[in-house]
Structure 1
């Protein structure tokens, strides 16, 4: 806003002096405003921290929300009044489909990473003229979830070693087959046989 206020004051003085007239600007041009907002600032509530060149510690876990706050670039804020032309942000995790629009000059949004590993949050600022900034990126590392996330039992034979003495088809000299060549399973639970 500071750079916009100075430009606006200069253009206003030139117009009032009669040096230029309004038609000198192209159709739809706003002589007081720059074309787009600058890259926004992104901060985290601490659930996830931004990766740096020397540090990218995993935090949180998949499915755990972290809150991120978006603010306009400092150059887009009028230092005297604290006002800005930024009205909203579009937010998305790279690799995910879809995005979310969050309204406000300063806004917060909960982001839920779907998986462990390096994630990148992409944020663009929008001004009152529906113009979008270049993206800002916030890279963070999501550590794997603690503890087991699933359990499977693959043992299809009893744990008792006397049942494993070379008798694949206990009690049968050959597997039973139907007319199409299918084998049936005999037994139940730990004693499945083929």
Structure 2
């Protein structure tokens, strides 16, 4: 077999493996609604809400609800952490029902969650992402890696005692030679809550 024939065969095998891998990822789809919750609670108050999870795949899937802490890096990319890793965690304040469940193709499940505000403490805004995780193992009798798909809902929890404040230092409008003008605000965040 010539060197060129080997390269063609190797390239063909790599394309087939890539196609199979990407096809498996395409099937690993889930719909989660709504994508965000924003709550403001009094100390000790409790609220229960529901998230609708829909299996849009053509096979049965098992899901696990997991809460994560998160932040954004300097480039606004999502960085997740194990719940309880950050000061603004929801870890001790949230409960799920059900946490683990299976869904047939095209079926939906409402996952209820309850948030309980602490009775005292630091009144900084808390946030987390509830990911519905699905692990897809490699095909039987094949070499491969398990793929964990995460689809989530963001939760913000502030309190009636949370201070939302910022200091305004000034503003200016810049008009670049190309493109529309834009405003620049000079602000400093001084509160304990996220200002949206």
> What is the TM-score when the length of structure 1 is the normalising length?
0.37
Larger Rg: 1
> What is the TM-score when the length of structure 2 is the normalising length?
0.37
